[in-house]
Structure 1
């Protein structure tokens, strides 16, 4: 039986996990890191990928692309351009491409090729497992729940072009439930999955009924995310530079890029300690820059950003006919959700709920994908035609010829497959000896029959 991996691709980093010895674990890449940056640098004839690109980012900022899976589905007309972070993208020949300047001439690199560079590195990480033989690597690929069918298809095609065979593509929020074991409990209630990305926030409510999952609703808010915090910390470091050098030395791109990299590192430091040291070598005229930023100052300058992260929650719940008191559990996803202040604010908003973040918010989706992968019995000769598609509607059991006809949900919409569940239900027959008709039906809305199986 071949090993199957769990693969999670964000707009900031990629994570690959494997299920072995009875549990999921995240694999470390060749740099010893468990998160591979989604960065690729194209400078002259040199290509740097992942950690190598991140390490030299401040020198190569204008030549570095963020290999964002979300860009695969960008809606542009032919030759239309759009600015994304520090890079321009353009649609050329039907492909979304990054546009660089090289020796005064434009250089176009397809987004799928850039993403492929990171995927090849993740595939190499998977092959470091002793149980992996040569050939394609089987994986469960998590996808954001707001991706449409075409976007998922493009991402899946890109992943399979670079060393993987995709067994299934479950939505990320559903997978985040698995590492916490909520799908195995006799728990019934609503779960809010709160995902803060680089430039977006996703909210998803899942209804769990004795371990069965049903999607209640989802919403994605674009234009807000962890990038806003980096920019706020960049402003703090610029102010500190003025005090340190007694003048503004951040007018050039080189200095700003160095400080931006320092701001991101500072954010990570302040998630674990009360004071974050900042040291930037040769920032101005060969002189180094150093300072310290306390967590209290960080939380103060970013308070309005944290508030903006929470603002959409109530409106989203209201649109589903729910309130905060209806949410029993909250699962946090994304590196930004490591910030203690944001965790505390979520606890304050959902004071009567359990807030889950004790599994790394960077890894929880990939670990869930690895758990899902463990359910698949995969052989080296498996073809995609023999896999089970993820249902897009509810599957229900309907009982007829009963005193009271009944319908019981077997599998909720977007439940990751394969799955093994036991359901106990009681029925009362209308006439002794008369057979009870049991039908499995697919329903787009609970109670509305769409099709028979």
Structure 2
């Protein structure tokens, strides 16, 4: 039976893990790294994912997509500010959703995330020798319904069976507490690349019960990076009267350098940012360089307002859980941005204790997701582990006067189901439109609309007589399903969500087909490149053998040389696979014949030649 895996689909980096021998283990990618950059680049018909995409970003800024998790499941109005600071073009899509324009084509954030998921799962499948399909994917605890559904859709587009969508801090607590036997109350402080979550859990006897969660989905390490970018660009503009942020290539280099500087300042008190040839003087066309020293104190000054924003979610989570800081046994730091010394200092100030750094902040979420995958797939080594999670935001409907009628308050244990009865506001009203809302404000306009649907065919009645049952049902993934039914007639709506940011079923199916077609094209391209590389390597070795085989017949050496020349021409002209394979076979045979005719210049006995022949077979066999 194929194993289920856990995936931390991060804003900046992603990690995949699996249960091995009763313990979660990170699976390294094809490059041998434990984390994969959440970066996708489009170069013609080719898609580059991960480190290879990140490496070429400065030369291809308009088509190298990163931090896309910030746009997934979001409305354009929510992300316009973040979109404006990207070197690639982010714009409004259908129904107020978000799209990214790449090479003249609009791409949904779900498609980009699907490319990252596909690469990770393909690498993991190759490593463990099994074709992986079943996955648990993590999301920030403060993700709303649209963002959770969009994340699930990204998994579907990647051709995966998404068993569960689990909150990141909850997953981290699973990784931390899997070996713990006593009872503990823990606070997970999760500051990642794009989002910030705080979750309080009670652990004990195999039960992981979430008591409260809070957060900020517009706060993460990327915001810290962009403060450095703004400072560098401002300093440069003051000196040279040129705005580097308007040059996509220069902006990409600034972003990369800012991230590097932030990381270095976690260990050092100062760092130097050096960007030679960042641009050219528009008048003289002479090259301009950027070099600035950034101290940790200056960095903390640049991000001071961001640091203040991490305080409120912590105090909110404590209030909702009806706990004080002294009631918390351990504070677990998760997410790469918790390495920033100022962040650790604030945690100590709020909680009055040293945070627990026993878990790897980059890997804990994926490890916990692997535990959840093991629980769902029935891993006997895990025993009886029970995970009790909560919904992060209040869910309700809009009622007369633009007010919100809450049905499921935030921090309600999930799965959850709640039914409320509503009625009409006008005589003989034939139908009602139900606006499903998520948020904590009393007025509908101040909350996020997850979608609207209509219940029609209500029999003519006086206002207030119809009894309309509205049922909210949240599944274990935190994804909401809403139904409405008029009791006297039994008329029930078929939910039709409008103006939502998530993709409709037809779009998802189309993207799945596109992803599968692209995957096949990528495999064909990779096979073609491998055949070219194999033939070119064989050509070089053949030329060397011709030079060394002084005692071989001249006609045989001429034959090998002629085939080597044909191989060079085929590689340079990008010949098709059939031609490449044919030349590889012919050149292997001719080279084998040459080595048998003159083994090591004729100085070794035939038995030794046969040994060399065996080695050639192993070295020159085309890749599967």
TM-score (norm. length: structure 2) = 0.53
Equivalence for 1:158: 154
- More strand per residue: 1
Deviations 1:372-415 (A, max 9, x none): 33445569xxxxxxxx997668xxxxxxxxxxxxxxxxxx9469
For residues 157 and 307 of structure 1, do their structure 2 counterparts lie closer, same or farther at Cα, with a shift above 3 Å needed? Answer: closer
Equivalence for 1:247: 240
**8 Å contact kept, 1:41–1:64:** yes
Local SS of the residue matching 1:73: coil
**8 Å contact kept, 1:200–1:221:** yes
For residues 216 and 114 of structure 1, do their structure 2 counterparts lie closer, same or farther at Cα, with a shift above 3 Å needed? Answer: same
Equivalence for 2:90: 88
For residues 99 and 147 of structure 1, do their structure 2 counterparts lie closer, same or farther at Cα, with a shift above 3 Å needed? Answer: closer
Structure 1: gaps (5+ residues): 380-387, 394-411, 416-443, 445-453
Equivalence for 1:382: none
Take 2:37 and 2:123, find their aligned partners in 1: how far apart are those partners?
Answer: 13
Tell which structure's C-alpha radius of gyration is larger: 2
For residues 6 and 60 of structure 1, do their structure 2 counterparts lie closer, same or farther at Cα, with a shift above 3 Å needed? Answer: same
Higher RCO, Cα 8 Å, sep 6+:
1
Equivalence for 1:302: 303
- 1:27-426 equivalences under 5 Å are 27-42=27-42, 44-66=44-66, 68-69=68-69, 71-75=71-75, 84-85=82-83, 86=86, 87-92=89-94, 96=97, 98-100=99-101, 102=103, 106-129=104-127, 131-134=128-131, 136-148=132-144, 151-181=147-177, 184-188=180-184, 190-238=185-233, 241=236, 247-251=240-244, 252-253=246-247, 254-285=249-280, 286=287, 288-352=289-353, 355-375=355-375, 377=377, 413=413
CA RMSD of aligned residues (A): 3.7
For residues 260 and 20 of structure 1, do their structure 2 counterparts lie closer, same or farther at Cα, with a shift above 3 Å needed? Answer: same
For residues 224 and 142 of structure 1, do their structure 2 counterparts lie closer, same or farther at Cα, with a shift above 3 Å needed? Answer: closer
For residues 255 and 236 of structure 1, do their structure 2 counterparts lie closer, same or farther at Cα, with a shift above 3 Å needed? Answer: same
Local SS of the residue matching 1:355: coil
Residue 121 of structure 1 deviates from its aligned partner by 1.1
Take 1:262 and 1:296, find their aligned partners in 2: how far apart are those partners?
Answer: 18
Take 2:147 and 2:302, find their aligned partners in 1: how far apart are those partners?
Answer: 37
Take 2:32 and 2:292, find their aligned partners in 1: how far apart are those partners?
Answer: 28
For residues 76 and 304 of structure 1, do their structure 2 counterparts lie closer, same or farther at Cα, with a shift above 3 Å needed? Answer: closer
Residue 356 of structure 1 deviates from its aligned partner by 2.2
- More helix per residue: 2
For residues 67 and 228 of structure 1, do their structure 2 counterparts lie closer, same or farther at Cα, with a shift above 3 Å needed? Answer: closer
For residues 220 and 73 of structure 1, do their structure 2 counterparts lie closer, same or farther at Cα, with a shift above 3 Å needed? Answer: same
TM-score (norm. length: structure 1) = 0.71
Take 1:160 and 1:181, find their aligned partners in 2: how far apart are those partners?
Answer: 30
Take 2:311 and 2:153, find their aligned partners in 1: how far apart are those partners?
Answer: 35
Deviations 1:296-318 (A, max 9, x none): 43334433432222244224423
Take 1:341 and 1:390, find their aligned partners in 2: how far apart are those partners?
Answer: 32
